[in-house]
Amino acid sequence: MPELPEVETVVRGLQGPLVGRTFTGVTVGWPRAIRPSPDHLRQRLPGRRVAALTRRAKFLVFHLEGGGALLIHLKMSGNLQVAPAGEAMPLHVHTVFDLDNGHQLRFQDTRKFGRVHLVDDPAEVTGRLGPEPLAPRFGPARFRALFERRRGRLKPLLLNQEFLAGVGNIYADEGCCRAGVDPRRLVETLTGAELDRLYRGLRAALRTGIMLRGASLDAVYRGGEFQNHFRVYGRTGEPCRKCRAPIRRVVLGGRSTHFCPNCQK
């Protein structure tokens, strides 16, 4: 599933082609992806102009002129492309947004897990999400405060989108590695100094991911280079880049988790 840096990269790539454009029609091929309903989308979206395009957690947020927003979550296999309306349609395109310049925004989703929301207020969809880890006002003190009265293993907590928005499997592993913290740790045992290191490690991993246009791990999300700079993720048995100890893999909360047993205590 694309995480914060991958979605941020998609947003930046679509801002030029889409901001200022007006939706003129919608074709829905997979009704279950649409919230609240395909009819609502078809009736309410045409004629609306894209005033801005931003990201909230793993959602793309199309802010519409006059109020309201279109939100798209790519989930595991979603992909967005802008193409001329006459260009051949790829396989697995289930939602097509016609634009006023003769182009289309095409939502391709092989596994059909992606979701499209048309709402009056983005908070209707994103209101329960945790803070943005790269927000300017999200400092170390606020990060430490998130852990107050929390219990359980560190890695599953970092993946909880209501705890911290946008962090997924890759960046949780990479952030813990940069912080020198074992992802299996009980959060109630983490010291203030360790939480400060974790704050810096997560933000550094996310910023590096954005700088390198995310990680390309399959045919869906392409063009990123962060996978060439992983310190632990997906490197089971390979030597740690710092101490040369073999990288370990365990399953934690149902997710593959990678760490250096020597550097991450």
Active-site amino acid positions: 2-3, 58, 255
- Walk across the sheet containing 78-84 and list its strands: 23-28, 93-99, 103-109, 78-84
Residue 34 structure tokens: 């649409």
Please, are residues 265 and 182 in contact by the beta-carbon 8 Å criterion? Answer: yes
Q: Six-digit token pair at 131?
A: 């803070």
Answer yes or no: are the C-beta atoms of 227 and 215 closer than 8 Å: yes
* Contact assessment for residue 165 and residue 56, using Cβ atoms and an 8 Å cutoff: yes
- What is the separation of C-alpha 96 from the centre of its chain, rounded to a whole number of angstroms? 22
- Rounded Cα distance between 164 and 185, Å, is 17
Cβ contact 209:5 at 8 Å: yes
Residue 13: which of 47, 40, 50, 53 has the closest Cα?
53
Q: What is the DSSP string of 31-74?
A: GGGEES-HHHHHHHSTT-BEEEEEEETTEEEEEETTS-EEEEE-
Per the structure block, which two tokens stand in for 27? 């074709």
